[in-house]
Amino acid sequence: MCVSRRWVKCMESSEAKISVIIPVYNTGSYLGECLCSIIHQTHHNIDILLIDDGSTDLSLALCDKASAIDPRIRVIHQVNGGLSRACNTGISLARGKYLSFIDSDDYAHPKMLEILLKNLIQGACDVQCCDSTSVGFKGLEFSKAKNQLFSNDEAISKLFDDNAYKCYARNKLYKKELFEKIRYSGGRLCEDIQTTHKIFKISKCIGYIRQPLYFYRIRRESITQSYRFDENRDFIDAINGVLSDSKFLADRYYDRLSVGYMINYLAYINLKLRNRSAIASDIEWLSSFLHSHWPLLFRHRNISIKHKIALPLYCRIVTIVG
């Protein structure tokens, strides 16, 4: 049997089945495009799980209609519990050896799963990553991209590289066995950060191909675009959780991550204080952070001199208001 036929036979076996988990919540305007991109993947051996997280729009009907057309699609309806719970439901019910996550308002390149799986197998990886880009990007260069292989420490450090694959659950293919004892944290925003870090930590090899195969949609109403105090707070808590678990990362990235993201955070809490909408717990948390980290904030290169001079004043004002 020639190599190509052997490969095709391998891709059709149960050993190559990919479970694609799609949490769905009121994205009826975009779900069709998302589903279409997965149904028409060049890698056909897939198990598609639509986790309807209590949708109240036409998403509900679209899910059921899709499952009636394609036998690879299973629909699970559940009471709204958030993105993390939907992902966890999909992980528990997945039949594939590999897992991939896609947001229901995004879509994938037709070859995404094929390319990710091929590189994962050839590189003997536990996780295979690719680039993601905004909807409408056309600059794919399949012939020039080479798969880079990283150890877990190297891969974790690149989670915080703005030019790499980031910490999202999406744009990655995982061996399902990695999730045997790991799940996404319910009730928190930015749940991808610590979970992806934990997955990478127990992986022996992580692959990364610099090809934008995942297309995300920027929507004002989406979770990642809504600017909320709790999201920033959860983000910093998640970052600190990762850094406290890794001395290597703490030494290398603490200033840039835990402090750098506070620039926007400070502006936001200042707005809340002006509008008198900040609550006691907001002020208490911020006051504690400022008093503990203002020397690092003062040294941070991305903070202007004007704001650095104002930092001690910030500390005092927040303390007085609190």
Q: How many CB atoms lie within 10 A of CB 60?
A: 17
Cα→Cα distances 318→219, 255, 272, 289, 292, Å: 33, 22, 11, 11, 13
Reading the chain (322 residues) residue by residue, the pLDDT tens digits are 555 666 666 777 778 999 999 999 999 999 999 999 999 999 999 999 999 999 999 998 999 999 999 999 999 999 999 899 999 999 999 999 999 999 999 999 999 999 999 999 999 999 999 998 887 655 555 556 789 999 988 888 787 665 667 888 999 999 999 999 999 886 555 567 778 888 998 999 999 999 999 999 876 555 444 445 555 556 666 666 666 666 655 565 555 555 545 555 555 556 556 666 556 666 676 677 667 666 666 766 656 677 666 666 666 655 555 5
Task: Return the DSSP state at 259.
Answer: I
Q: In whole angstroms, what is the distance from residue 132 CA to residue 109 CA?
A: 10
The helix/strand/coil state of 29 is helix
83 and 185 Cβ atoms separated by less than 8 Å: no
- The residue among 295, 240, 232, 288 whose CA lies nearest residue 265 is 232
Task: Return the DSSP state at 303.
Answer: S
Q: Is 109 exposed, middle or buried (0-12, 13-18, 19+ CB in 10 A)?
A: buried
